[in-house]
Structure 1
Amino acid sequence: MMISSNSRHTVTLRFLAAPTDAGHDGTVDAGVVLQWIDKAAYAAAVGWSKSYCVTAYVGNIHFTAPVRIGEMVEVTATIVYTGASSMHISTTVVSGDPRTFGDPGVSAESRSQCLVIFVAVDEAGHPHPVPPFIASTPVEVLKRDHAISRIKVRSDIVEAMSRQEYTDAGSAEKVVLRFLSAPTDVNWGGKVHGGIVMKWIDEAAYVCASRYAGHAAVAVFSGGVRFYHPVLIGDLVEVEARLVYTGHKGMHIAVLVRSGDPATGVLELTTYCLTVMVIRDETGTALPVMPWVPVTDEDIRLAEHARELLEIRGRAPGNRLPNHLLDAVPATGSQQSI
């Protein structure tokens, strides 16, 4: 892996996608891409703050196309906005043929993009002040303003997600994965990598969506990945994935990660997000899925919650509602959810 820094606030990782990165369909899993994103964003955050940092939030992760094994991959993480102790980091993933990657006139293909928020902390785990980032070019100003415009949307998403309760009263497809976090999952602070947690989320969502659809599914979007507490090495981890809504093609899967001491069995919520999965034909085109009809009161409430999240995200600059909701709420912008 090659690491470079184009400026003090940008870090780029470059490497080949390895055979060990292959997922269920032979291309790189979304969970592996999320690990790459977390590593690049962490490097940018630590380089800027000069202190240990933790992943706080990952939002609006769009997987536009899969990364193929053997491709040259470039992950770029750029500080675009800072708060008192937080750093908002724009990340992009591109890939292409290693024989021509970077050659004049050869454009790498966009694979994924998202905004990651890291918080600098001191040795006691308390927020640590970071140097302010001052946008100085038109492009930096544009990216800063985009990050700022999403703060209210993100706050509304977090608030909406915090109101939800998941019990056994639901009737939708659900899977629960349980395991111990391993020493190989450790980050530089002695806790589990945020990227590893996101990989677990992708794996659980894959199983849930694939069981519902009867066909291997892939992630096209993840949103509202909120990290509440760290996962410690040796913790008992429980990853619950539940279908909460279906659009024309997308299966909306809520994923909750809980962890705790295996000796007591007491688990606390560490991470929560909503992932959209699709099934694709041999050309890569997303196919319609069987509509899911809510049955219980909890089913209905969670389906309405998923629709609420779609509507909140539709308010963000550059976003729009999916086609099946456009008749109910006017849409703006150009980005479409599924």
Structure 2
Amino acid sequence: MAVPQDVAASGATVAAGSVLEWIDKAAYACAVGWSASDTVTAYVGNVHFTRPIKPGNLVEVHARIIHTGRTSMHVLVAVETTDVRARDYSPATHCILVFVAVDETGKPREVPTWTPRSDVDRSLQQNARARLEPRKRIQSVMRAAEYTDDGTTPRTVFRFLAAPADANWGGNAHGGTVMRWIDEAAFATAAGWSSETAVAVYSGGIHFYRPIHIGHIVEVDARLIHTGHRSMHISVRVRSGSPRNPHDLQLTTACMSIFVAIGPDGYAEPVTPLTLITAEDEALDEQARALIALRAPLAMMPVELFRRP
């Protein structure tokens, strides 16, 4: 059940960061069960928040393997929700996560091969494979962008220490926790530009490059880099490093989130257009437009492929 602690700052619906934590935990359990080893989150893609989840709603999170590589597992997660009195579940979101199995030293290890056994299995595997090349192109565009103090667009930076409560079984910050941090920083940026009614409608291109160690400094840097008529595109980068070297933080995670501001009628309101002043502002705006074009062909999976029988 969605509880008050899961709710966004607006108080109306569950925060996207809470949903992302649920997704990661379910997928992690699925990946660990398949590989019989510890795993790390490598990628989370195309999370469309299509249905708001209200506090008090019942929530079900389903995870299943749909493709394996030599050391990787592609896990499809579907989130469904219902009013406690109705018990009629409807899809809220779904996405594919990629996990990598690791041994006791943290090095990748091989996983058992998953073989599709039905037409639905084969369709899901084909969908996962079709995303491999676009994912590489998206990652390339995101890694190529430069972020310096020359940018003038709205920016939110959180800095704190990764606490023991944030740890996964491997002793590093849990992937779902990192995604919650990302959502919180992105929300602060979106709310500052529009209003506190801002909600996430999409998170994607979440690449995990290196682990965040407990006790290390964490810096979450969110920047508004593009606006549509009603949308705010926010690029978030997470860096981390030892407190002994606070000026030498390394990139650990990157993500693009899209927010809208909800009006009194329950629909997204127009947002103020972003003014681009410097060359970096213009370059990041172009990056957002390039990512929109790259993601356009990646249609959402048909609901009937992964809904409960």
Equivalent position to 1:245, from 223, 226, 249: 226
SS in 2 for 1:249: coil
Deviations 1:41-97 (A, max 9, x none): 000000000000000000001101221111111000111000001011111111112
Within 2, Cα distance between the matches of 1:305 and 1:289? 20
Within the candidate set 19, 23, 27, 1:41 is matched to 27
Structure 1 residue 264, shift from structure 2 partner: 1.6
8 Å Cα contact 2:197-2:263 kept in structure 1: no
Name 1:300's counterpart in structure 2: 282
1:288 deviates by 1.1
- AA aligned opposite 2:5: T
Report the counterpart of residue 111 of structure 2 in structure 1: 130
Q: Tell me, in whole angstroms, the C-alpha distance in 1 between the residues paired with 2:282 and 2:86.
A: 51
In structure 2, the partner of 1:207 is 188
Q: Residue 324 of structure 1 corresponds to which residue in structure 2?
A: none
Partners of 2:300 and 2:50 in 1: CA distance: 16
Deviations 1:147-191 (A, max 9, x none): 110111101000111111100001100111111111111111111
1:271 matches 2:243: no
Q: Does 1:112 align with 2:112?
A: no
- Residue 124 of structure 2: aligned partner: 143
Question: Aligned equivalents of 2:81 and 2:297: distance in 1?
Answer: 30
Q: Name the stretch that deviates more: 209-218 or 41-50.
A: 209-218
Show structure 1 runs of 5+ residues with no match.
1-15, 102-106, 320-338
Of 64, 70, 77 in structure 1, the residue corresponding to residue 50 of structure 2 is 64
- Residue 161 (structure 1) aligned with residue 161 (structure 2): no
- Match in the other structure for 1:24: 9
Q: Is the 8 A contact 1:81 1:88 kept in 2?
A: yes
Question: 1:149·1:317 contact (CA, 8 Å) conserved in 2?
Answer: no
2: CA distance, partners of 1:317 / 1:32: 24
Q: In the aligned structure 1, how far is the partner of 2:298 from the partner of 2:80?
A: 24
1:318 positional shift: 5.0
1:229 is aligned to 2:210: yes
CA apart distance, 1:300: 0.5
* 1:254 CA displacement: 0.4
Q: Distance in 2 between matches of 1:44 and 1:122?
A: 17
The answer for the alignment partner of 2:69 in structure 1 is: 83
Taking the aligned partners of 1:59 and 1:213, their CA distance within structure 2 comes to 26
* Relative contact order, higher structure (CA 8 A, sep 6+): 2
1:50 has 2:31 as partner: no
CA distance in 2 between counterparts of 1:317 and 1:164 reads 25
TM-score normalized by the length of structure 2 = 0.94
Residue aligned with 1:179, SS: strand
Query: Residue 177 of structure 2: SS of its match in structure 1?
Result: helix
User: Which residue, 167, 176, 183 being the options, matches 2:164?
Assistant: 183
Contact 2:14 2:52 in 1 (8 A): yes
Identity of aligned residues (%): 48
Does residue 285 of structure 1 match 2:270? Answer: no
Q: Which residue in 1 is equivalent to 2:307?
A: none
Tell me, what secondary structure is at the counterpart of 1:222? strand
Deviations, residues 210-236 of structure 1 (Å, cap 9, x unaligned): 111144311100110000011111111
Cα distance in 1 for partners of 2:118, 2:18 equals: 33
Q: TM-score, normalised by structure 1?
A: 0.86
Find the aligned partners of 2:17 and 2:183 in 1 and give their Cα distance: 5
Q: Structure 2: where are the runs of 5+ without partners?
A: 302-309
Q: Which amino acid counterpart does residue 125 of structure 1 have in structure 2?
A: G
Q: Is the CA contact 2:9–2:196 (under 8 Å) kept in the aligned structure 1?
A: no
1:98 aligns with 2:51: no
Q: Which residue of 2 aligns with 1:9?
A: none
Aligned amino acid, residue 8 of structure 2: G
- Using the TM superposition, give the Cα deviation of residue 146 of structure 1 relative to its aligned residue in structure 2, in angstroms: 0.5
Q: Distance in 1 between matches of 2:83 and 2:233?
A: 33
- For 2:274 and 2:6, locate their aligned partners in 1 and report how far apart those are by CA, in whole Å: 32
How much has 1:98 moved relative to structure 2?
2.4
Name the Cα RMSD after superposition: 1.2
Secondary structure at 2:131's aligned position in 1? helix
- Give, in angstroms, the shift of residue 317 of structure 1: 4.4
Output the amino acid matched with 1:76: H
User: Residues 277-329 of structure 1, C-alpha deviation per residue, up to 9 Å, x if partnerless?
Assistant: 1100234311111111211000010100100001011132459xxxxxxxxxx
